[in-house]
Structure 1
Amino acid sequence: MYRLSNTVVGYLNLLTLLSSIPIIGGALWLARSSATCESALQTPLLAVGFIVLLVSLAGFIGACFNVACALWLYLFSMLVLIAALLCITVFGFAVTGGGNGDQIPGRVYREYHLSDYSAWLRRRISEDGNWRAARACVVGSRACAEVVRWTPIDYLQRDLTPIQVNLRSHLF
């Protein structure tokens, strides 16, 4: 049984080790892009790729070569990663919990208000240094280029994304 479980752990870690290579490659590919949105993703992707690579390598070495120290490191790393993901998830729900948007009668879109979100998120968004990168990303993506040509009737009939609703509230 010991040999079977180590084999399974070894193969799973080999699979995750190999899957970390495209993650790192994708992050390096994003470095070539000059767009603000893509460059903002580069550092987190590199960090995730290298963390997955190192944890998988520890698990693979521990399972395949019976190195107990590497398996303990792998187990502790997985515990820390699971706890971190749980904390990030809870934090994300806590910060964005009230932002469901209000259904407007006669409209196909929802109206979103900054006051629905947590005070921490409102402060982060209102700080000019934090908002500058997000604003550059939205402008650079040309997500709203089509919306500028719409008539007021188009706004009533079309399904709008939250960014387009925000643009609509600034235009009218």
Structure 2
Amino acid sequence: MYRFSNSVIGYLNLLTLLSSIPIIAGALWLAKSSATCESALETPLLAVGFIILLVSLAGFIGACFNVAWALWLYLFAMFLLIVALLCITCFGFAVTGGGGGVQVSGRMYSEYHLGDYSPWLRSRITEERYWRAAVSCVVGSNACAEIVRWTPLDYMQRDLTPIQVRCTAGPLYFTI
């Protein structure tokens, strides 16, 4: 039974080790991009890729070569990762908990109000350096370009994303 469980842990860690390579490659590919949206993802993706790589390597070495300290390191790192994911999830729910779309009567879309979200998130969004990055992402994504070709009937019948709703309101909504 001991050999079977080590084999399973070894194969699972080999699989995660191999899956970290495309994550790191994707982050390096994003580093070549000049777009603001993609460059914002570069550092987190690199960090996640290398953490997965190192934790998987510790688990693989510990399981396949019977290195006890590597298995203990793997166990401790996995515990820290689980706690970190729980904290990030709780933080996300706390920050966005009150927010959500309000259905607009006669329309297919919901309307979102900044006042429905936490004070921390509101203060972050109203800071100019964060807002400028968000606006450049929206403008660079061509999210508003598709709407230009719509007829008035399309606005009434289509399900608009929150960004597309702001595009229909005009450029005033994308300034501070």
Q: Give the shorter-chain TM-score range.
A: over 0.9
Equivalent-residue separation in structure 1 for 2:153 and 2:99 (angstroms) = 26
Equivalent-residue separation in structure 2 for 1:41 and 1:151 (angstroms) = 35
How much does 1:168 deviate?
A: 2.7
TM-score, with normalisation over the residues of structure 1? 0.94
Do structure 1's residue 133 and structure 2's residue 133 form an aligned pair?
A: yes
| Partner in structure 2 of residue 25 of structure 1 | 25
SS at match of 2:165: helix
User: Which structure 2 residues correspond to residues 155-170 of structure 1 after superposition, within 5 A?
Assistant: 155-170=155-170
How much does 1:8 deviate?
A: 0.7
| Partner in structure 2 of residue 145 of structure 1 | 145
How much does 1:39 deviate?
A: 1.0
| Partner in structure 1 of residue 70 of structure 2 | 70
| Partner in structure 2 of residue 96 of structure 1 | 96
Q: CA RMSD in A?
A: 1.6
TM-score, with normalisation over the residues of structure 2? 0.92
SS at match of 2:106: coil
How much does 1:145 deviate?
A: 1.4
Structure 2: tracts of 5 or more residues without a match: none
SS at match of 1:136: helix
| Partner in structure 1 of residue 42 of structure 2 | 42
How much does 1:152 deviate?
A: 4.8
Structure 1: tracts of 5 or more residues without a match: none
Equivalent-residue separation in structure 2 for 1:154 and 1:40 (angstroms) = 33
More off after superposition, 150-159 vs 137-146 = 150-159
How much does 1:166 deviate?
A: 2.0
| Partner in structure 2 of residue 7 of structure 1 | 7
| 1:59-84 Cα deviation digits (max 9, x unpaired) | 00111111111101000000000000
How much does 1:148 deviate?
A: 3.9
